[in-house]
Structure 1
Amino acid sequence: MDILHVAVLALVQGVTEFLPVGSSADLAVVSPLAGWLNRGPAIELAVHLGVLGAVAAYLWRDLWAMAVGVFRYFTGRRGGASGVRLAFQLAIATLPLIAAGFLFERYLPGGIASVRVVGWSMLGFGIALFMADHSGMTIRRVEHLALSDAVVIGIAQMAALVPGAGRPVVTMLAARLLGFERIDAARFSMLLSIPALLGLVVVKGIGLVSLPDGQISGAAVMAALLSFVAALIAIAVLMAWLRRSTFAPFVIYRVAVGIALLALGYGWGL
Structure 2
Amino acid sequence: MPLYHLILISLIQGITEFLPVSSSGHLILLPGLTGLTDQGPVIDVAAHVGTLLAVITYFWSDVRHILHGLPQVVRGQFDSPSARLLVAFTLATLPVMALGLILKLSGLSDALRSITVIGWSMLVFGVLLYWMDQRARATRQIEDLTLRDAWILGLWQALALIPGTSRSGITITGALNAGFNRKEAAKIAMLMSIPTIIASGALTSLDLIGGTVPLRDTAIVVAFSFAAALMALSLMMRLLSRLTYTPYVIYRIGLGLTLLTIGYSGSLGF
Give the TM-score normalised by the residue count of structure 2.
Answer: 0.93
Q: Which residue of 1 aligns with 2:97?
A: 98
One-letter code aligned to 1:250: Y
One-letter code aligned to 2:163: P
One-letter code aligned to 1:193: S
Q: Verify: 1:182 aligned to 2:179, yes or no.
A: no
- 3-state DSSP of counterpart to 1:110: helix
Q: Which residue of 2 aligns with 1:87?
A: 86
1:218-237 paired onto structure 2 within 5 Å = 218-237=216-235
Match of 1:259 among 257, 260, 267: 257
Q: State whether residues 176 and 185 of structure 2, in contact with CA within 8 Å, keep that contact through their aligned partners in structure 1.
A: yes
Q: Which residue of 2 aligns with 1:22?
A: 22
Q: Which residue of 2 aligns with 1:2?
A: 2
Compare 235-244 and 12-21 and name the one that shifted more. 235-244
Q: 1:59 to 1:80 in 2, by over 3 A?
A: farther
1:72-151 paired onto structure 2 within 5 Å = 72-74=72-74, 81-107=80-106, 108=108, 110-151=110-151
Q: State whether residues 97 and 199 of structure 2, in contact with CA within 8 Å, keep that contact through their aligned partners in structure 1.
A: no
One-letter code aligned to 2:230: L
Cα distance, 1:211 vs structure 2: 2.5
Q: State whether residues 137 and 180 of structure 2, in contact with CA within 8 Å, keep that contact through their aligned partners in structure 1.
A: yes
Q: 1:112 to 1:74 in 2, by over 3 A?
A: closer
Cα distance, 1:269 vs structure 2: 11
Cα distance, 1:268 vs structure 2: 9.2
Report runs of 4+ in structure 1 exceeding 3 Å deviation.
Answer: 72-77, 203-207
Q: State whether residues 160 and 167 of structure 1, in contact with CA within 8 Å, keep that contact through their aligned partners in structure 2.
A: yes
Cα distance in structure 2, aligned partners of 1:44 and 1:149: 30
TM-superposition CA deviations, 1:169-206 (whole Å, max 9, x none): 11000100111000011101011111111112233445
Cα distance in structure 2, aligned partners of 1:5 and 1:122: 25
Q: Verify: 1:248 aligned to 2:246, yes or no.
A: yes
Give 5+ residue unaligned stretches, structure 2.
none
Q: 1:29 to 1:109 in 2, by over 3 A?
A: closer
Cα distance, 1:27 vs structure 2: 1.2
Q: Which residue of 2 aligns with 1:55?
A: 55
Cα distance, 1:3 vs structure 2: 0.4
Cα distance in structure 2, aligned partners of 1:199 and 1:33: 29
Give the TM-score normalised by the residue count of structure 1.
Answer: 0.93
Q: Which residue of 2 aligns with 1:70?
A: 70
Q: 1:62 to 1:106 in 2, by over 3 A?
A: same
Compare 57-66 and 253-262 and name the one that shifted more. 57-66
Cα distance in structure 2, aligned partners of 1:130 and 1:116: 21
Cα distance, 1:75 vs structure 2: 5.5
Cα distance, 1:41 vs structure 2: 3.1
Cα distance, 1:258 vs structure 2: 0.3
Compare 89-98 and 106-115 and name the one that shifted more. 106-115
Cα RMSD, aligned residues only:
2.1
Cα distance in structure 2, aligned partners of 1:29 and 1:259: 14
